[in-house]
Amino acid sequence: MLSYILRRLLFLPVVLFGITILIFMLISTLGPWTRVATFVPSPDAERHVDLEAMIKKYHLDDPPVKMYLRWVNNLLHGNLGWSQSSHMTVTEAIRRRFPATLELTLFSVIPVIIGGIILGVISAVHHNKPIDHTTRIMAIALWSLPDFVLGLAVLMVGFGVLGWFPPGRLSSWAQLEVLKESFRSFTGMYTLDALLNLRLDIFWDALRHIIAPVITLSCLWWAFMLRITRSSMLDVLNQDYVRTARAKGLAEAVVIKKHALSNALIPVTTVAGNMLLGLMGGVVIVETVFNYSGLGLLTSTAATRLDVPCVVGVAIFYATILVLVNLVVDVLYSIIDPRVRLE
Amino acid sequence: MEIFRRLVKNRISLFGLILLVLFVLIAIAAPWLAPPKEGSDPYRIPRRGWTLEPTPPSAKYPLGLTQGQYDIYYGIVWGTRTAFRVGIIVISFRALIGIILGSISAYYGGILDEVLMRFTDIFMSFPYLIGVVVFVAIFGPGLNNVMIPLIALGWMPYARMIRGNILAIKQEEYVLAARAIGANDFKIITRHILPNTIFPVLIQASMQIGSIVISVSGLSFLGLGAPEGYADWGQMLSFARNWMLGEQGNVLKYWFTVIYPGLAMVLFVLSWNLIGDAFRDIMDPRIQA
């Protein structure tokens, strides 16, 4: 067990090294002017100094290895450069936008897990019955809906026709309230902060804004989870120990809950990492559709304005989180399923 | 053939197959369905005017004109070709890279295998949509600049699958026999191992075409993929963004800018997914019972 975790931990820096090398190689193809921006902490220096001096100052004519090391050193100190599209340092931009995205992702995980797993189990238990066919067709249909098409449709109906789910993160009155001194910011996630400040009106407003992007973001993964749970559950239900449990006269509900489900959920946990990866990618489009100012909107705006330092900063931030999450998932997985450790 | 018979027999996948054949026919017949102007690039959607506001469907333009008077009908017909082209190019290169690296890794094993698989892990731990965005931010928007990173960040599952399949059959007697009679490595890989492992991987790969078309269109929608006026469904939907809330008292006034290109995309992806889902059940021996 310990050696397994240790092996996984040792692999962590290797992955991060690989990712930074990949990105560094891409950046190296840029001209010195653009590249300078990834090293400068603020644009003031850029305005007054000429190109030659800048290149000298930041040692941009050094051999690649030296440049790479300096860049990584900057990254480790949290200096990700200056973002032109948001007029602040990349680190600051990420720090401000991340809570919004985290909030959106956390809210999206709930319907995915509850809806996907429960329906998956029901579908498998009633294999090839009408309810199985219905949920399956529904899942395929949802899976085929591109997130931006779904997003546009949800916005059109939810805001345009019904007026329930406005775009953005907060209404303007609530935005003003949040910026006041009396409103303490604990996490940056408006729903949670509003509750902690005992402001139900703001909580309600934040909730109304977040529902539409959550629906859009979770639909696809909801369908994905349903498929995985269904096939894993079908597999388990055919196993001998389930037959034994039935043969000794246990009630069907007990067989499913106690014997089948806990084993069927093992493969489901492995895709949790995949799901997070997908959700994090998905926010780029969903946040843009709903004008929800999180990391996704930051990324897409930066990309359309060719703001390289910002996009690169977000990518590295994402990759780091992802590697950590995958590590946690793997360790959890090895705790749940002892067979994994034996590899 | 057995597989095909079962696909036709299943009503759900038959529906998928019919849809897919329909799209293939549209793609082939595009020059007749929506004849491009003499001498102009057929993938540029013609503009029927210069006002910004979309025009509702009429007898002359059956699906209406979207923002900037781009012809929606024309865009959907030629967009079908774009969808197939993008999907097929990305999938073929992904499968090719996956097959090469996966078979080398499995066949030689040892250190080479270890290095290649760690390489695969590194690529896998990158959120690929973000990777594409990084690439576009550096090299500028465009359909090709979206497809390249999609290939570079998408071959890993195939490499792993091929590797697993090869490891499973490497010790089979016919491979050992080929080695015993002195066949060289290249010949053993290409003549004996690949034909027995490649088929399931190629099928799995082709089923991904739907989701690739979603990714590429999504990027076009963000303005990172196809340029304005290019016959691409995602690009056409990005026009709709400014008009989807209609006007005071008539919210659904510009419904056609969303519904038609959206419907084309959904049906295209649906056709692949319906077939793919039936395939999964056919190929999965565990669900036979």
In order, the DSSP letters of A262-286 are: HHHHHHHHHHHHHHHHHHHHHHHHH
At the top level of CATH, the class of A95-336 is: mainly alpha
Q: What are the backbone dihedrals phi and psi of residue A165, each rounded to the nearest 5 degrees, phi first?
A: -115, 90
Between A19, A140, A302, which is nearest B137 by CB?
A302
Looking at residues A26-39, what average pLDDT do you find?
A: 69
Q: How confident is the model at residue A54 (pLDDT cuts 50, 70, 90)?
A: low
Report the distance separating Cα B133 and Cα A285, nearest Å.
11
Q: For residue range B186-221, list pLDDT tens digits in order.
A: 887 777 777 777 777 777 777 788 889 988 998 898
Amino acid B140: pLDDT: 83
Residue of A14, A146, A300 with shortest CB distance to B265: A146
Confidence of residue B88 (pLDDT cuts 50, 70, 90): very high
Chain-centroid distance, C-alpha A99: 12
Judging contacts by C-beta atoms under 8 Å, the chain A residues touching residue B141 are 304
- C-alpha distance across the termini of chain A, in Å: 11
3-state SS, residue B279: helix
Nearest C-alpha neighbor of A41 from the set A1, A7, A88, A6: A88
SS3 A240: helix
Q: For the segment A223-236, what is each residue's pLDDT rounded down to a tens digit?
A: 888 888 888 888 88
- Say what the ipTM of the complex is: 0.80
Least confident span in A43-57, A157-171, B40-54, B128-142: A43-57
Contact B262 A147 (CB under 8 A): no
Q: Which residue of B has its CA nearest to A233?
A: B287
Q: In this predicted model, what pLDDT tens digit does every residue of A93-108 receive, in sequence order?
A: 888 888 888 889 888 8
Nearest to A82 by CA among A38, A46, A49: A38
Instruction: Provide the pLDDT for residue A106.
Output: 86
Average pLDDT, rounded, for chain A:
80
List CB contacts (< 8 A) between A160 and chain B. Answer: 244-246, 251-252
Q: Which helix (H) or strand (E) segment is A61 a member of?
A: none
Distance (Å) of CA A62 to CA A52, A56, B276: 13, 9, 51
Which tokens sit at B16? 């998928």
The nearest alpha carbon in chain A to B243 belongs to A156
Residue B96 is predicted with a pLDDT of 92
Q: Are A155 and A290 within 8 A, CB to CB?
A: yes
Q: How far apart are CA A60 and CA B101, in angstroms?
A: 35
B137-155 per-position pLDDT tens digit: 888 888 899 999 999 988 9
User: Any idea which of A52-61, A307-316, B150-159 has the lowest mean pLDDT?
Assistant: A52-61
CB contact under 8 A, A26 and B262: no
List the single residue in B125, B237, B280 with the smallest CB-CB distance to A149. B237
Burial of B138 (0-12, 13-18, 19+ CB in 10 A): buried
CB nearest to A277's CB, from B122, B127, B134: B127
Residues of A in contact with B131 (CB under 8 A): 315
Contact flag B287-A27 (C-beta cutoff 8 Å): no
Q: CA–CA separation, B287 vs A111, rounded Å?
A: 27
What pLDDT is recorded for position B289? 39
Counting residues of chain A whose pLDDT is more than 90, the rounded percentage is: 1
Q: Which domains does chain B have, with CATH numbers?
A: 2-288 (1.10.3720.10)
DSSP of B107-118, one letter per residue? HH-HHHHHHHHH
Q: Tell me if residue A150 falls in helix, strand or coil.
A: helix
| pLDDT over 70 at A237, yes or no | yes
8 A C-beta contact, residue A67 and residue A59: yes
User: Coil, strand or helix: which one is B66?
Assistant: strand
| Residue range A154-206, pLDDT digits in tens | 888 888 778 788 888 888 787 777 777 777 777 778 888 888 887 888 888 88
Give CATH 1.10.3720.10 domain extents, chain A: 95-336
Interstrand relation of B70-71 and A82-83 (parallel, antiparallel or unpaired) = unpaired
Higher local confidence (pLDDT), A137 or A287: A287
Q: What is the pLDDT of residues B110-120, one digit of tens each?
A: 888 888 888 88
Q: CA B2 to CA B114: how far, in whole Å?
A: 38
pLDDT for residue B133: 86
- Rounded CA-CA distance A235/A239 in Å is 7
> Which of the pair, A154 or A111, is modelled with greater confidence?
A154
Distance CA A115, CA A111 (A): 5
Structure tokens at B256: 């056609």
Q: Ranked by mean pLDDT, which of A41-55, B26-40, B80-94 comes out on top?
A: B80-94
| Mean model confidence pLDDT for chain B | 83
User: Which token pair is A49?
Assistant: 């100094």
- Nearest alpha carbon to residue A246 among A236, A235, A256: A256
Residue A8 has pLDDT above 80, yes or no: no
What is the pLDDT, as a whole number, of residue B25? 94
Q: For residue B214, is it left (φ>0), alpha (ψ between -120 and 50) or beta? A: alpha
pLDDT of residue B83: 92
